[in-house]
Structure 1
Amino acid sequence: MIVAILISVHLLADFLFQSSTISERKRQEKKTLILHCLIYFIIFEILFFILFQCEKAFLLGLIISVLHFLINYIVNKLEKYFPKRRLQLLFFSLNQLIHIVMIVGMYCILNLENLTNNFYTKLQTYEDFKIIVLYISVFSIILDPASVFIRKLFISISSKTYSKTNSEELKAGNIIGKLERIIIAILLLNNQFGVIGFVLTAKSIARFKQMENRDFAEKYLIGTLTSFLIVLISVLILKGLL
């Protein structure tokens, strides 16, 4: 449970609590990366003071934030040395995988389960606590992290750069993708598997005329299937663990 909470907060702090400007500039400027890590530190400190013993909370937040800085700094350097578009997805996936391994490692090495406070113990007694953690964990994955993953995937498989007009279309597509994943996740979490087909069908009907364009149809299929697969894997794994 603690691991799921920590990974969820990492994803929220690393994606939701930063603007697109900071997201881009932190790859180029060390001071922007430090600002991002400061925000990351504050968010984790709030969590640690809520869930863990006070005397350990500050140190835990400091450790995880310093490690977050080092991981991002190293990955940024790798991206500069290997600027090929097709490697962006690899670096993004590597970044997040190392963070997850780091969080699990901290949990095991520092025995975080035994450092929780009485407030967390009381939270565990609530009947819906696991369900709330499950929903937060799923949504922390399928929103911004999934959107970035799919965008990196398209960048990696295509050499095409997009104009400002196309960028507006991509923003609309990003919002549609998030709404689609939210609906599918809620249906999966409530075991309403049959309704999912109607969601995907409705989306396909809206894009019916554009399907005549082979390039669009292929990208649409890749994006839709990847989006659905991310939701499916996230829900199945987290339901099994929690």
Structure 2
Amino acid sequence: MWLLLLKFLAAHFLGDFVFQTKKMVQNKHKPVYFASHIAIHAALMCLFLANDNMWWAIILVTVFHALFDWIKLKLASKIKAPILFIADQMVHLATIIVVLMIFSTLEISFDFINKPQIWLVLVAVILVTQVTAILIRILLSPYQQYKKVQEHSVQITGEKVLFNAGKYIGILERLFIFGFVVANFWEGIGFLLAAKSIFRFGDLNNAKERHLTEYVLIGSFLSFGCAIAVGLIFNYVLHHLI
């Protein structure tokens, strides 16, 4: 039964990401392009599942895909694109799973929620992303005036920066480090530090502001250290306490 799910997913991903051109995306509000997109999805499912006697499932998935794409078009001007994209994909995948549960013996078990490993991962991810960010902000609070110097200089020079980019870079950085520690791939941490040094510290060196460089270094080492600590604790708890 999992083979059926994989076939449906293959058809969905091909239809949404491979055979849907940029022109189709930009003109999906036009009936011809909208119908073409839905027809491609239907054709792919018919091709992949021709011998599986799942015609009612194919019809339902096609109808619901068209319905949700139409709703997405109506909400495009009201909801931010990343949120709308993720919600749209989640709904499409949920539709496929529900239809398969109705028309086949596919069963989704929620027993995993009682496994301590799942909760350990959840706690570790929260620690690495949100808790660590707050901790670093508190520890760096005595040096906030140097950050303000940078913000002031950006306003004067008119240099363009991405909104909240530093926050998300830090989160991704710690998630990568956490993953490297859990996988016992310590070389990855060195590669990440080297890459960050090239891009980040090169800009700071050109800015000729030593205090700002020191501020970023402290924050970076705190971020790296916290992620490594959480990864080591995760490994210890996973292998010795659970």
Considering Cα pairs closer than 8 Å and 6+ residues apart, tell me whether 1 or 2 has the greater RCO: 1
State which structure, 1 or 2, has the greater radius of gyration over its C-alpha atoms.
2
